Amino acid sequence: MHYQRPVRVFVSRRLPVDPAAVLPDHEVDVWDGDRPPTAAELRERCQGADALLSVLADRIDADFLDACPMLKVVASFAVGFDNMDLEAARERDVWLTHTPGVLTDSTADLAMTLLLAVARRLPEAEDEARTGHFGPFAPTAFLGLQLAGATLGIVGMGSIGRAVARRARAFGMDVLYTSRSPIPVEDREGGEPVELEELMARSDVVSLHCPLTPETRGLLSADMLARAKKGAILVNTARGPIVDEAALVALLEQGHFAGAGLDVFEEEPRVHPGLLERRDVVLTPHIGSATHTARRAMAHMALRNIAAVLRGETPPNPVPGSRSPS
Ligand code: GLV
């Protein structure tokens, strides 16, 4: 690809690495606002841009691509790509790329963090210690779930699900999982494949690791959630709309679930008000990949994908199904 003009890249958020240093031959424009760009601002800044480095909150659909006809690649700073219209990109010969692999361990760490925090009732216990209500030792206070001997159900046994399974096995948990496609025994991390209904019925903790697709939207419906064991814990570091949030709140209120650890929500950044008040729920603001290691690697990966497309090459990490190499 030969350009008669500077090659322009728009980066829609500040990154943990300097994109201009990674792409010295390109004209790099970085959104520097304290709030994210609106959809209109994103379009405006992408006028004349050859590449966009976007985040999950940026909607990449047919209208957006039509409004920014110079774009050859949209490199998403995320592994999930439910914010992108793959068909629209295919039809317009625009590459979509993502950042698989590099955030697996960090996201699995957060799932375990939420699991442990809910299992050991961290918000309540921390509050007691912090607010001067530290009472005398009480054999019946703050009883929670011991992980060793408990069963973890993993919904979606991709790379993050397997990384969580490895951690859970190290804690002495038994692991069940569901998966769209069969997994060879050597990659099961000691987990047992089951149907979702059975997983719900047998698990002390259910942790979600599937992508958001038309099939998984609402997968944990009111009906499916009600199949959980009484006293189960739900952990979600995948995508909010996989769970019927209102039904989860109702089941928490009824004491059917002992608690939940949630990093993702149905309508981010809105959190269901019924979750905000609960002490048996641990909430984090979509920070699964937020470690120095993962976020730097994601930035480098996204920038490498942009550089490859702008050199006229196939990018190393295309979104599956977005475009086949020509
Ligand atoms: C975060 O949610 C991601 O998909 O990377």
Q: Is 239 a catalytic residue?
A: yes
261 lines ligand 1 (CB under 6 A): no
Q: Which of 53, 96, 107, 265 to mutate to test the pocket of ligand 1 (most atoms within 8 A of CB)?
A: 107
Give the Cα separation of 94 and 74 in Å (integer).
7
Which atom of ligand 1 is nearest the CA belonging to 103?
A: 5
Which residues have CB under 8 Å from 301's CB, separation 6+?
A: 99, 102, 316, 317
CA 255–ligand 1 middle distance (angstroms)? 30
Low-confidence ranges of the chain (pLDDT < 50): none
Residues 287/263, Cβ–Cβ less than 8 Å: yes
Ligand 1 neighbourhood includes 78 CB (under 6 angstroms): yes
Q: What pLDDT, on the 0 to 100 scale, is given for residue 5?
A: 78
Contacts of 204 (CB under 8 A, 6+ apart): 145, 150, 151, 152, 229, 231, 232, 233
**How many Cα neighbours within 13 Å face the side chain of 158?**
16
Give, for ligand 1, the residue of 53, 55, 56, 317 to mutate: max count of ligand atoms closer than 8 Å to Cβ.
56
Nearest CA to ligand 1 atom 5: 78
Which pLDDT score, from 0 to 100, does residue 57 have?
Answer: 97
Asked whether 240 lines ligand 1 (CB < 6 A), one says: no
DSSP string, 192-222: EE--HHHHHHH-SEEEE-PPP-TTTTT-B-H
**Site to substitute for ligand 1 among 13, 102, 103, 109, most atoms within 8 A of C-beta:** 103
Using a CB cutoff of 8 Å and minimum separation of 24, what contacts does 135-141 make? none
Mutation test of ligand 1: which of 58, 102, 289, 301 has the most ligand atoms closer than 8 Å to its C-beta?
A: 289
Helix (H) or strand (E) segment spanning residue 91: helix 86-91
Please tell me if the CB atom of residue 100 comes closer than 6 angstroms to any atom of ligand 1: no
Half-sphere exposure of 85 (CA within 13 A, CB side): 14
Tell how far the Cα of 99 is from the centroid of ligand 1, in angstroms: 9
Tell me which residue of 92, 219, 98, 241 sits closest to 159, measured CA to CA.
98
Closest Cα to atom 1 of ligand 1: 78
Tell me, using a 6 A CB cutoff, whether residue 80 lines ligand 1: yes
Centre of ligand 1 to C-alpha 241, Å, is 14
In this structure, the residue with its CA closest to atom 3 of ligand 1 is 78
What is the C-alpha separation between 246 and 289, in angstroms, rounded?
26
Cα of 35 from ligand 1 centre, angstroms:
19
Q: Is 44 a catalytic residue?
A: no
Ligand 1 atom showing the smallest separation from residue 264 Cα: 2
